[in-house]
Structure 1
């Protein structure tokens, strides 16, 4: 096939919505098939073409890949850190077994490229907390992190054993105005904006001084496309690339929002997610991504806050 046929699994999630839109701009609307567990009649027509899919159903996944003659897969479906701790075995089944199905079927049907996201959750209490290196200690403390750490090595294995071109990014916390928080430990940094734009007080579930790596979604989508466009010989990391955008604490974010929303109030009531956050790095060394495929973020904290509030206010007016 001369034309790419791209399957996005988990297209209705936080990353999936925006990545699907970006891929359609690049390859054409009909060349990118969105899929998720949601029924079609629950979705707006903008996500079409769309196929309902439970990715843990390997037979249904195989039929879709074969029928659509898929050439690239972006496998985004996962249960995130906080939700995963509430149902660890279900999280493992979704996060791990679905990846193995995607890898096996990609080899079987000659899929040219696979993208699978990892996370800073692969790091743990003994990892270096400042400028965590690409080859740093990975000692995850959540089932989400365990599944991502294991998945990285499965991706490397399928590249080395079968020549499958699997590429991956360890995403930091992602911030977007297009979707609601999805059950992650960094999701306070999305929810806080929804309160801020309505000038409502916000209760943060992390301590005010907890610094975590974050990234604006526009940067994350661009990084994903740039990684997948890079020549195969440039991809030196076959587990998952560290990726850095910006690091800040809840207090620093609240201060920046208050500059544009005078009187905005935040209080802090840490819950079980604080322990998860304490196990993660505060900043990431992404020099490998910079060297191998020229990665560079575009947004700092001030620019991100301004753009988030601007877009959320515009959505309120629709």
Structure 2
């Protein structure tokens, strides 16, 4: 089935979408991957085919699905954790009602698959450390709550209607190609940008804050591998995937090895520190490893080296 995929990607101009769309086009062909979103200028940068689309408009989703004969939706449109706390109503609307719209259009048009990522934001202070795929989920952010709803809705549509909903449950995603998009773990991205641009950065978390992370190339691999996995091999609908786990201080020290004189300061922001403290320090991705062969390629050291090399090129810095 995967060779015949015609894929609609929502939220294509975000951090993940802007890199996943080109990766999908390389595998399935440019004309078989339709980028969509509300920012037409950014959609043009990603390239055709693209469709202006608001996930809160079910009729718009249905129109694009029928026009392009879509049989798979990769649903990325979402308001992330830190931004979600600034406007909980908007986050709830896009993250839950938008997702319900996607599921309903997929059901009504008998699509083959919906791939929608979840997040470690589904966890809360009561979650044990290094949690597996099925565990206590009592998040304290609207983003986390909405992602729990996403997972439960996905399982419901799979069990009730046979709609193949699946997705990776991602930790913090680090990338040099797209600026941070409002997530709590974005300090790990900003630190690299500011280190290359200014040689210093003020972290908004304590130096001992340890969180699971993944480098974008591994995140893209996780999407691609899970999309192509045989449904009969899947034992859950949402899978933990992790690349590495490190403290903010360990990140700062690693950056300093590649940018001598890098100055790191730590001034915890109460809101974002509280969110970070509610998440586990690492996650158990053994089911993804067992069921569809997941293995991360990138670690902290190799990721840091690659980030800095590429950011220097993209930002026009020498040395």
Q: Could you say what secondary structure the match of 1:209 adopts?
A: coil
1:74 and 1:114 in contact (8 A); partners too: yes
Q: Could you say what secondary structure the match of 2:284 adopts?
A: coil
Could you tell me how far 1:46 is from its partner in structure 2?
3.8
1:213 and 1:284 in contact (8 A); partners too: yes
2:36 and 2:43 in contact (8 A); partners too: no
- Return the alpha-carbon distance in structure 1 between the equivalents of residues 185 and 226 of structure 2: 23
- The answer for the alignment partner of 2:57 in structure 1 is 57
Q: Could you say what secondary structure the match of 2:212 adopts?
A: strand
- The answer for the alignment partner of 1:229 in structure 2 is 228
The runs of 4+ residues in structure 1 deviating greater than 6 Å are none
- The answer for the alignment partner of 1:83 in structure 2 is 83
Deviations 1:164-192 (A, max 9, x none): 11111110000000111100000000000
2:7 and 2:70 in contact (8 A); partners too: yes
Q: CA RMSD in A?
A: 1.4
**Structure 2 stretches lacking a partner, 5+ long:** none
- Return the alpha-carbon distance in structure 1 between the equivalents of residues 105 and 125 of structure 2: 35
- Return the alpha-carbon distance in structure 1 between the equivalents of residues 273 and 42 of structure 2: 34
- Return the alpha-carbon distance in structure 1 between the equivalents of residues 207 and 305 of structure 2: 21
What does 1:201-240 align with in structure 2 at a 5 Å threshold?
Answer: 201-238=200-237, 240=238
Could you tell me how far 1:67 is from its partner in structure 2?
1.4
Structure 1 residues 16 and 42: alpha-carbon distance in aligned structure 2, compared to 1, 3 A threshold: closer
- Return the alpha-carbon distance in structure 1 between the equivalents of residues 65 and 111 of structure 2: 9
Number of equivalenced pairs: 315
2:18 and 2:46 in contact (8 A); partners too: no
Structure 1 residues 194 and 106: alpha-carbon distance in aligned structure 2, compared to 1, 3 A threshold: same
Could you tell me how far 1:42 is from its partner in structure 2?
4.9
What does 1:1-318 align with in structure 2 at a 5 Å threshold?
Answer: 3-39=4-40, 41-129=41-129, 131-238=130-237, 240-271=238-269, 272-317=271-316
Could you tell me how far 1:154 is from its partner in structure 2?
0.5
- Return the alpha-carbon distance in structure 2 between the equivalents of residues 199 and 91 of structure 1: 33
Deviations 1:131-162 (A, max 9, x none): 21222211111000000011101100111111
Which has the larger displacement, 94-103 or 57-66?
A: 57-66
